[in-house]
Copies of this chain bind each other. A is one copy, B any other.
Amino acid sequence: MARALALAQEAAAKAEVPVGAVLTAPDGSTLAEAHNLTRTLPDPTAHAEILAIRDAAARLGSERLIGCTLWVTLEPCPMCAAAIAEARIARLVYAAADPKGGGVEHGPRIFAHSRHAPEIISGIAEAEAAALLKAFFASRR
């Protein structure tokens, strides 16, 4: 999660919403890492999670990331939560909750409806991730 937080800081430096994600293989090695790039690309689907999933799938040569863990600094939105289910990711670890835009424990609660649901661990480094987001949005007002 420390690496995901560093990626979120890189995003903020590019005026992108500071969210970072790391995908790890079953053996713990890093498969892919990314931060938001929606404005830079521009691509409305270029959230950190989607970019990491696409990169890892290309690297593994498989559309399914069996046994993999996704570490992300913010509760995934509905699009990303559904992509996590599509990719059959085994475990989702996220830092800060997102009551307004989240799709895991808020809003449509994607995994309550999907055929695949990962194990979910939340609240890891929550304060650091939330502080990054708060500072970013405060600086843009």
A43 lies within 8 A of B64 (CB): no
Chain A interface residue count, CB cutoff 8 Å, equals 36
Residue A1, interface by CB 8 Å: no
Q: Which residues of A contact B (CB under 8 A)?
A: 38-39, 41-46, 50, 53-54, 57-58, 61-65, 77-79, 81-83, 85-88, 103, 107-110, 112-114
Number of this chain's copies in the complex: 2
CB-nearest residue of chain B to A112: B108
A116 to chain B, nearest CB (A): 11
B41 lies within 8 A of A45 (CB): no
A53 to chain B, nearest CB (A): 6
Chain B residue contacts of A42, Cβ below 8 A: 57-58, 61-63
Cα distance, A41 to B58, chains bound together (Å): 7
27 contacts between A and B (CB under 8 A): A38-B63, A39-B63, A42-B57, A42-B58, A42-B62, A42-B63, A43-B54, A44-B53, A44-B57, A44-B63, A44-B65, A44-B86, A45-B50, A45-B54, A45-B83, A45-B86, A45-B87, A46-B63, A77-B82, A78-B78, A78-B79, A78-B110, A78-B113, A79-B82, A82-B82, A82-B103, A107-B113
